[in-house]
Structure 1
Amino acid sequence: MTAKRITIQDVAREANVSVTTISRFLNARYEAMSQETKKRIEQVIEELDYHPNALAQGLKGNRSRMIAVIVVKLSYPFCVSLIRSLSNALTPEGYNVIVCETEGDPKREAHVLKTLLGQQIDAIVIQTNGDNLTELETISKSVPVILVDRKFKLPHATNVLTDNYEASMKMTNHLYAEGYQNVFYVTETPNAISTRSERLQGYLDSSSRYHRTPHVEIVKRGDDVSMQSVVERIKENISKRPIALYTANALIFHEIYPHVQQIDWPSPEKLGLATFDEPDWIKLISPSLTCVRQPVPEMGAWVANLLLQQFKDGYEQPDEAHLKIIPSELIKSESTRLDRGDGTVSDTL
């Protein structure tokens, strides 16, 4: 004999409240609900083992309770950390996170956006290359659109990112102040990606401040030849004075590091090593690697709180774009810590 399915009416009757109150509880609308009532409903739901019909619940409130997170590549440390932090904050509030990958392909991104709209998603959090801003502007009329990691001029969206320019300048300042005469900066072609252009500009402005000739190396990830070419150019410039290698992100560092290991240059005495990003595998690098720690968990938590507040208040397209910047942290480690020559180690700001 099939067990009777527990309904919302059963929960309301057992908790001695109205169905409307139960509905508000399930939709996390606690503003007019006492703590005692909330605890009683929680207890009844647990005792009855009640599981609400998410689809019906979404249709009734004109909400799917699904948040789309669109990233360039799922294997990127930034993307993994962002998805994890969003899920940790949104899932307990009854929202499901749908993850989509674009590989940086504009057509694939456009297809993803079109597909998601057919699923009545409640919000979009996207790491975009900026090729579908018109579509995103249209979407922002109906649901929140949050741009992460890359900054674009979208009139009614929120941009959430870190202080790429300032953090990159601090890193380069640190390398010059330590005593590295030349700093080789390795990056992908900036194009319209704000993170790349801002980090590059931070490096260039620091080089100008210290009256040093900049050495910018453009590489293509996945191309060992371009990585090896950078190492060869560093070898051509090596002298009695130490050189530093600073990569624009950990993905580049991961690819160039094996080529660096093939040459007998002790770090940090002859070749300082540094990167933007702090991936999990950084602990395997010896000596410990100087890096810029991005506040990705904080970014995800901030985005989640913004969305929850917008859902609570009722979403309306913002009058103007909003920019939220959460600062990164420079982590100084052994890979760039030079001995001054008098037995002391520098401790730069």
Structure 2
Amino acid sequence: MKSITISDVAAHAEVSKSTVSQFLNKRYDYMGEKTKQRIEMAIDTLGYQPNIVARSLKQKSTKTIGVIVANILHNFSTEVSRAIEDVCNHSGFHMIICNADDDPVKEKHYIEILLAKQVDGLIIFPTGNNRDLYQKMLDNQYPLVFLDRSVEGIPISAIMLENEKASRLAVEHLVQKDYKRIGMLTTSIIHNISPRLERVSGYKKALHDYGLPMRDDYVNSVESSSVQDSLEEMLGLSEPPEAIVAGNDLVLIEILKFVKRHHLRLPEDLAVIGIDDVSFASFFTPPITTVAQPTFKMGKMAAEVLMDKINQKRIEDERLDYRFEPTLMVRDSVDNKDVT
């Protein structure tokens, strides 16, 4: 079957090739309505499909960005990706999402694949362990934005939560409800993932500021698969924590599984606050108090900063960190503790 070309469209619509090209690139400010209608009809009648590869070579742009998330199972990853897609769609871009599973090897592999596909820019939830590759892209002035995390010593724009404040909000709420033995569980910090480190730091600072003891056996950072075992150890102590702060949504899910499996009552047997406002938090029984991130605003900002870099409207050192405020969502998994 003969491939339909832009020349065929131009001949059918009785216009020049350059006019069709302007139409395809949405540059029709001075194009009459009847001309646009003729071109549209010609495209529809002939079944013309633009050659994306040829256009990319000519424009030196694929109109595509790559997004490498740390873990697609995170509620945060899903919501920010949705916001990024909104900005891409509005800007005439497409996006490719890759899941690195917090694995530096997978992350490096996906970065190299996306660069080979000549995507115009990248949004990465960095593992932190590909410093040479990050620096190489930075040195080459390649459009790059970090999301959720920063990497020490790599001056790349990062869109992040005020993570220490998120933990502080959780601890403050528990203190106001008369809880004194407060623990925290988060996913592994072995790779120095910045939001996890900051949330643990915020938790410790809040305990210190409120004059509460910081016990090493009340705080732990483990893989998601070990959260329930870690919680069992904590609750098996002679003086177990009365409340637990879950460092992210995956930890919260594991804690709630443990609660159900052991027939614990929230908040009577254990008070729980999760950082990340997961979709089920409001209709779980009882509804779970959380500290919410403005996920859509963060995703939108990440995409807009990247688009500015792609369009050379923003220089790298103009601003590095974009921090967003957390919000405490008060529900029923924390209540006033009876003073005995």
**Band of TM-score, shorter chain:** 0.7 to 0.9
Aligned partners of 2:80 and 2:298 also within 8 Å? yes
TM-score, length of structure 2 as denominator length: 0.84
CA RMSD of superposed structures (Å)? 3.1
SS of the residue 1:69 aligns to: strand
**Counterpart of 1:225 in structure 2: which amino acid?**
D
SS of the residue 1:281 aligns to: coil
TM-score, length of structure 1 as denominator length: 0.82
Quote how far apart the aligned CAs of 1:152 are: 1.3
* Closer/same/farther in 2, CA of residues 15 and 92 from structure 1, 3 Å limit: farther
Aligned partners of 1:219 and 1:227 also within 8 Å? no
Deviates most, 206-215 or 265-274: 265-274
What is the rounded CA distance, in whole Å, between the counterparts of 1:19 and 1:107 in structure 2? Answer: 46
Pairing partner for 1:129 from 127, 148, 156:
127
Alignment of 1:154-165 (within 5 A): 155-165=154-164
2:194 corresponds to 1:194: yes
What is the rounded CA distance, in whole Å, between the counterparts of 2:154 and 2:114 in structure 1? Answer: 21
Q: Corresponding residue for 2:174? A: 175
Quote how far apart the aligned CAs of 1:226 are: 2.7
2:233 corresponds to 1:229: yes
Quote how far apart the aligned CAs of 1:14 are: 5.1
Alignment of 1:1-349 (within 5 A): 5=4, 7=6, 10=9, 19=18, 22-23=21-22, 26=24, 34=29, 37=31, 46-47=40-41, 48-49=43-44, 51-140=49-138, 141-153=140-152, 155-191=154-190, 192-214=192-214, 215-223=218-226, 224-233=228-237, 236-237=238-239, 243-263=242-262, 265-312=264-311, 314=312, 318-319=316-317, 322-338=320-336
* Closer/same/farther in 2, CA of residues 319 and 274 from structure 1, 3 Å limit: closer
SS of the residue 2:219 aligns to: strand
SS of the residue 2:236 aligns to: helix
* Closer/same/farther in 2, CA of residues 185 and 4 from structure 1, 3 Å limit: closer
Structure 2: which 5+ runs fail to align? none
SS of the residue 1:200 aligns to: helix
Aligned partners of 1:106 and 1:132 also within 8 Å? yes
SS of the residue 2:285 aligns to: coil
Aligned partners of 1:67 and 1:124 also within 8 Å? yes
Aligned length: 329
Q: Corresponding residue for 1:345? A: none
What is the rounded CA distance, in whole Å, between the counterparts of 1:99 and 1:20 in structure 2? Answer: 35
